[in-house]
Amino acid sequence: MFVLARSTVPMGPFRVQLVSTFGRGVTVIGLPPFGRLTADTHRAPIHFTATVREVDVQQLTTTVRSGEFDGLVQMVRKDALQQVYPFALRLLLAALLGAAALALLAFRNRWKAVALAVLTAIVAVAGCETIAWATYRPAALLNPTFSGSLELAPKLIGPARTALDRIDEFRGELTRVLGGAARVYTSIQSGPFGEGEEIKVLHISDVHLSPLGMEFAQEYVFVRGNHDSLALQEAVRGISNAIVLDGQTKLVKGLSVYGRGDPVFSPNKLTAVDDTELAERIRAAGPGILFDVTHLSQPPDIVAVHDDRMAETVAGYTPLVISGHFHKPSAKVTDGTLYLRVGSTGGAGANVFTQVGGVPLSAEVLYFSRESPHVLVAYDLIEQSPESGSLTVRRHLIEEEYGTLVPSPSPSPSPTPSETLLTPSASATAT
């Protein structure tokens, strides 16, 4: 059943994989990369899972633009109901084939035993399906258990029954958000860039426990920020798809990236230091970073830090410094080095969707030339208002805005090995 009783079927603009096996009587709805929700929906010992695998962006865009959100819901509902009977039959046939194969292996030509085994499988599976159908409680889906990033959902929107009271308002907001997203996708695809020839880098910072934050952190290079403990850094290091940089340089998709963790750990306002002391401790990291960068065989394509004041010393020694921390995007050039500061990807944190006038969600997509040396040729600044759902993308072409950038350091004394960065263990004393 586990091997054969799975099928990927269309449901509106989505393709959903259906899987069923014997197990606890629950329904699991998977919404990657957000997580999944699980509900105790029936009494039969059979487990149902439905996972979204693909999205037809063009169809979804057309539907959202036309304002037919209710039509989209009805389309998905109709398609889902049409798939129930074929999938139930597929489940039954999978059980029959499995039982027949195992019975033939065990009993060989003892045909009565083989027939009894097959009959037992049919009765067991068909009986479970019938009981599940008779006892199924759709209302249980209103109070599910969340996992993954969706664990924050109850905190963000409250109990599902309360949210139902605001469903019309929610639909209106969702339509605006999806409409904005569709316009963004359309504008990016039709733009002069992003045709697949460039190396693309997603630049995010200050995820602030947003529902999507750690999903991104599992697939990209991680540099510790001021709210990240050393314990968290080590936990991220244990994730198979994560690369943690804290004084090291790694080659990622052809790009050399140097990263250094924030020397100050301030998990909350109670542990925060005053601005003067903070600036001093941040800038004290500069000589160590400069020493690391200038002793590489060639300058890294990217220097990644949380607070760009850490990397003021490498102006003129590297083409690009990326950072965050200040929750407001900015760009400047110093001695031929471009400093790109992204806003907050998590906005105001877990209450990003409920706080009026909150910090906009922000991210950047960087485009590097494919040929070596890799040069940043453009970047897209993407911002979304959590209050209105409006989404904007602004493309910046480096040569048009800054001309040809050639890093050239200002005259200054050469760094020495004694001018080292505050060690991570020392920085943890801020707690």
Position 96 pLDDT exceeds 50: yes
Find, among 61, 365, 95, the residue nearest to 203 by Cα.
Answer: 365
Q: Which two tokens stand for residue 284?
A: 């004290």
Minimum mean pLDDT range among 1-10, 173-182, 239-248, 332-341? 173-182
Mean pLDDT, residues 158-164 taken together: 46
Report the candidate in 298, 214, 200 with the shortest Cα–Cα distance to residue 258.
298
List, in sequence order, every beta strand (DSSP E) within 261-374.
302-305, 320-323, 330-334, 337-341, 361-368
Please list, in sequence order, all residues whose beta carbon lies within 8 angstroms of the beta carbon of residue 298, skipping any fewer than 6 positions away.
256
pLDDT digits (tens, 9 = 90+) for 338-360: 999 999 887 755 444 445 556 77
Q: What is the pLDDT of residue 126?
A: 93
**For 160-186, what is the mean pLDDT?**
49
Of 151-155, 238-242, 329-333, 360-364, least confident by mean pLDDT is: 151-155
Token digits of residue 397: 């072409």
Q: Which residue has the higher pLDDT, 292 or 270?
A: 292
**Strands laid side by side in the 27-31 sheet:** 6-11, 14-22, 46-55, 27-31, 35-39, 145-148
- Give just the sign of the alpha carbon dihedral 178, 179, 180, 184: positive
Short-list 266, 342, 336, 278, CA closest to 309: 278
Mean per-residue pLDDT, 23-40: 85
Helix (H, G, I), strand (E, B) or coil at 155: helix
What percent of the chain is modeled with pLDDT above 90?
A: 46
Residue 271 has pLDDT above 70, yes or no: no
The domain 197-430 is classified under which CATH number: 3.30.70, 3.90.320, 1.10.3470, 3.60.21?
Answer: 3.60.21
Contact 366, 203 (CB under 8 A): yes
The CA distance from 7 to 3, in Å, is 10
Per the prediction, the chain carries an average pLDDT of: 80
Q: Indicate whether 16 pLDDT > 50.
A: yes
Residue 337's φ and ψ, nearest 5 degrees, are -100, 130
Residue ranges of the domains in the chain? 6-155, 197-430
CB contact at 8 A, 344 and 327: yes
pLDDT band at 428 (very low <50, low <70, confident <90, very high): very low
pTM, full prediction: 0.56
Q: Average pLDDT, stretch 360-375? A: 89
**Contact at 8 Å (CB) between 178 and 60?**
yes
Question: If you average pLDDT over residues 90-115, what whole number do you get?
Answer: 91
Neighbours of 203 (CB within 10 A): 24
| Distance separating alpha carbons of residues 231 and 244, to the nearest angstrom | 12
**Residue 256 near residue 249 (C-beta atoms within 8 A):** yes
Confidence tier at 58 by pLDDT (50, 70, 90): confident
User: Sorting pLDDT into bands at 50, 70 and 90, what band is 185?
Assistant: very low
Q: Which of 66-70, 74-78, 224-228 has the lowest mean pLDDT?
A: 66-70
Q: Which letter does DSSP use for residue 34 in this model?
A: T
What does the pLDDT read at residue 72?
77
Three-state DSSP class for residue 346? coil
Q: What is the mean pLDDT of residues 362-372?
A: 90
> 43 CB contacts (<8 Å, ≥6 apart)?
25, 131, 132, 135
Q: Write a three-state SS string for 194-223.
A: CCCCCEEEEECCCCCCCCCHHHHHCCCEEC
Buried b (16+ CB within 10 A) or exposed e, 61-97: bebbeeeebeebeebbeeebeebeeebbebbbebbbe
Q: What's the pLDDT score for residue 13?
A: 85
